[in-house]
Chains A and B, each alone.
Chain A
């Protein structure tokens, strides 16, 4: 078990810089999720921690030890790969015991640790099988088992759920979370799925173009996004954005001039900025009974999800979504008044995208 410290790290492929000057501190026992769109550098960063990619410049510490030039084999970390990367010619038992055998662990201890991990992951009946005889979910568990038996300083997960179907993904997600609480080991998990990030992480690293956009708890990243990119990336459906401006002592949409009913604090910030991008999450719209309290919209599409209903509509030349109570039973073409819930709106600088506080 160990902390991970990344200092002024740069990663270049030829003239192309994937990660420019990144700093990150992961505490001991912490579950950190790297999340971001494809090509943001999250997997590269994980592979650098694993020792599978060299660092162009900067320092990497695992615990107190600087590991820049240390081979993957000597870093004492375990990794679960996207395609599981099980050894096809070995039985499940051998897959799990291989690393221990390489370290010269006594046979009795290997046996005990493999069986304990197998019990934890419910894969005891499959220990004598080859990977090709297992389902995707079972292989995923074996890959985790292979990591667990090592009792490493840190676990690294490279999008391990992306090959599973939706139901199994939810199940394994919960299992990994439970496992992290039981093992109390530093875990770094890479995903492009923000739901995985939100549900599993102690802290989330939101990455874009190799740069950390925000590093904080899931709640903070969701409630107080640092910029428009984070606000748009975290949350499903994504946050709605509308350019707004301060006009004749009122907040209005830049396109169309519709008055937006905002709370006092947000209004104050907009009045100072003059113009901004207003961000409202779909779940932070309320249905106004009085037309004067809200923005009138025409329902374009309705998606009933059971627990709630999504309404698609156009506002200020942009497509937007509101999450409403299913009891409302809206229909396509209905005219509804929506207003942002007080204290739940976000303002971002029109040029830089940084949040306006």
Chain B
């Protein structure tokens, strides 16, 4: 009995240690980024890093003065919202169709596209979009980011749709519903939290995606994350401004995740729909 209690205590202790270590590994770069953004320029790269310093907003002021920061933010918002909407528009029916027909290869195909390195798409896209004169357009960016958002929507929603008892769909069929109507009237309301979660995840991944915007945007459509790259110069890098930009870029996804974290977990583990 005592041995069992001791083992339990050890397991609890090890679990806590694991969580703390994971937390440190995950949070350390974020904390470092946020702290650095409030440090004077010369202190950002100081070694050993200074933990006590006089916080300053000079990096943020420099950021807004030297770059059209708000325009870039608006570009990011347009591309992210556009690609998330596109992902939902095609991902919801696609996930439902895969669940309905139990033919999984289309879903695996989209996942493979997501797993493939972005550089694989970049050259063909660049050539294609240049041919049709769309380089630097929001459309090109939104379409390219749909490669990121579509698989997320499909794969987050698939288990949600699979979790609805088949008989509910069959009851709707017998009641007189077409498949399309079953999706909109029966299935979609039942996976609403899954849709919200997939939208949030798609938003976050699209917002943070760097490569496509770097190549396919121009000065007018550059997204925040691509614009932040400008602070990395060949001779010198403006670390302070870069950290300030990174902090501001990270803010929307962090706030979003914090607001819906409970929902996020339940949505990701969504399965059975209990009558």
Interface residues of A (CB under 8 A from B): 50-52, 71-75, 77-79, 81-89, 98-99, 102-103, 131-132, 139, 146, 150
Evaluate contact between A86 and B174: CB separation under 8 angstroms: no
Among the interface residues B168, B173, B275, which one has the most CB atoms of the partner chain A within 10 A?
B275
- B170 contacts across to A, CB distance below 8 A: 50, 52, 72, 79, 81, 85
- A146 contacts across to B, CB distance below 8 A: 171, 175
Tell me if B274 is interfacial: C-beta within 8 Å of chain A. yes
Evaluate contact between A85 and B176: CB separation under 8 angstroms: no
B167 is contacted by which of A51, A73, A85, A99 (Cβ under 8 Å)?
A85
Tally of chain B residues near chain A (CB < 8 A): 20
Using A52-B170, A81-B170, A83-B165 as known contacts, say yes or no to A88 and B175 having CB atoms under 8 A apart: no
Evaluate contact between A88 and B167: CB separation under 8 angstroms: no
- B177 contacts across to A, CB distance below 8 A: 73, 102
24 pairs of residues in contact across A and B, judged by CB atoms under 8 Å: A51-B173, A72-B174, A73-B176, A73-B178, A74-B176, A75-B174, A79-B171, A81-B170, A83-B167, A85-B168, A85-B170, A87-B171, A87-B172, A87-B186, A88-B190, A88-B274, A88-B275, A89-B190, A98-B172, A98-B185, A99-B175, A102-B175, A103-B176, A131-B275
Among the interface residues B171, B177, B186, which one has the most CB atoms of the partner chain A within 10 A?
B171
- Name which residue of chain B comes closest to A98, CB basis: B175
Tell me if B273 is interfacial: C-beta within 8 Å of chain A. yes
Considering the chains assembled together, what is the distance between the CA atoms of A131 and B165 in angstroms?
14
Tell me if B55 is interfacial: C-beta within 8 Å of chain A. no
Give the A-B pair count, Cβ closer than 8 A. 69
Q: How far is the CB of B16 from chain A (nearest CB, A)?
A: 36
Q: How far is the CB of A117 from chain B (nearest CB, A)?
A: 14
Interface residues of B (CB under 8 A from A): 165, 167-168, 170-178, 181, 185-186, 189-190, 273-275
Grouping DSSP codes into helix (H, G, I), strand (E, B) and loop, the B interface class, with mixed when no group exceeds half, is helix
- Name which residue of chain B comes closest to A99, CB basis: B175
Evaluate contact between B174 and A52: CB separation under 8 angstroms: yes
- B168 contacts across to A, CB distance below 8 A: 85-88
- B176 contacts across to A, CB distance below 8 A: 73-74, 99, 102-103
- A103 contacts across to B, CB distance below 8 A: 176
- B178 contacts across to A, CB distance below 8 A: 73
- Name which residue of chain B comes closest to A71, CB basis: B173
Among the interface residues B167, B175, B177, which one has the most CB atoms of the partner chain A within 10 A?
B175
- A75 contacts across to B, CB distance below 8 A: 174
A73 is contacted by which of B173, B189, B273 (Cβ under 8 Å)?
B173
Considering the chains assembled together, what is the distance between the CA atoms of A74 and B177 in angstroms?
9
Q: How far is the CB of B112 from chain A (nearest CB, A)?
A: 29
B173 is contacted by which of A52, A87, A88, A98 (Cβ under 8 Å)?
A52
Considering the chains assembled together, what is the distance between the CA atoms of A89 and B181 in angstroms?
15
- Name which residue of chain B comes closest to A52, CB basis: B170
Considering the chains assembled together, what is the distance between the CA atoms of A155 and B189 in angstroms?
28
- B167 contacts across to A, CB distance below 8 A: 81-83, 85
Q: How far is the CB of A352 from chain B (nearest CB, A)?
A: 39
- Name which residue of chain B comes closest to A76, CB basis: B176
Q: How far is the CB of B175 from chain A (nearest CB, A)?
A: 4
Among the interface residues B177, B178, B181, which one has the most CB atoms of the partner chain A within 10 A?
B177
- Name which residue of chain A comes closest to B273, CB basis: A88
- Name which residue of chain A comes closest to B164, CB basis: A88
Q: How far is the CB of A163 from chain B (nearest CB, A)?
A: 11
- B186 contacts across to A, CB distance below 8 A: 87
Q: How far is the CB of A203 from chain B (nearest CB, A)?
A: 24
Considering the chains assembled together, what is the distance between the CA atoms of A72 and B176 in angstroms?
7
Per CB-CB distance, the 3 closest pairs between chain A and chain B, nearest first, are: A85-B167, A99-B175, A85-B171
Considering the chains assembled together, what is the distance between the CA atoms of A85 and B275 in angstroms?
8
* Given A85-B170, A132-B275, A150-B175, 20 new contacts (CB under 8 A): A71-B173, A73-B175, A75-B174, A79-B170, A79-B174, A81-B167, A84-B275, A85-B168, A87-B171, A87-B172, A88-B168, A88-B190, A88-B273, A88-B275, A98-B185, A99-B176, A102-B176, A131-B275, A139-B275, A146-B175
Considering the chains assembled together, what is the distance between the CA atoms of A83 and B164 in angstroms?
12
Considering the chains assembled together, what is the distance between the CA atoms of A135 and B103 in angstroms?
36
- A78 contacts across to B, CB distance below 8 A: 174
- A72 contacts across to B, CB distance below 8 A: 170, 173-174
Considering the chains assembled together, what is the distance between the CA atoms of A79 and B167 in angstroms?
10
Considering the chains assembled together, what is the distance between the CA atoms of A144 and B223 in angstroms?
57
Evaluate contact between B274 and A77: CB separation under 8 angstroms: no
- A131 contacts across to B, CB distance below 8 A: 275
Q: How far is the CB of B113 from chain A (nearest CB, A)?
A: 32
Q: How far is the CB of B100 from chain A (nearest CB, A)?
A: 13
- B185 contacts across to A, CB distance below 8 A: 98
- A88 contacts across to B, CB distance below 8 A: 168, 190, 273-275
Considering the chains assembled together, what is the distance between the CA atoms of A87 and B274 in angstroms?
10
Considering the chains assembled together, what is the distance between the CA atoms of A85 and B170 in angstroms?
8
- A89 contacts across to B, CB distance below 8 A: 189-190
Q: How far is the CB of B179 from chain A (nearest CB, A)?
A: 9
Evaluate contact between A77 and B174: CB separation under 8 angstroms: yes
Q: How far is the CB of A103 from chain B (nearest CB, A)?
A: 6
- Name which residue of chain A comes closest to B171, CB basis: A85
- A77 contacts across to B, CB distance below 8 A: 174
Q: How far is the CB of A354 from chain B (nearest CB, A)?
A: 38
B181 is contacted by which of A74, A81, A82, A102 (Cβ under 8 Å)?
A102
- A81 contacts across to B, CB distance below 8 A: 167, 170-171
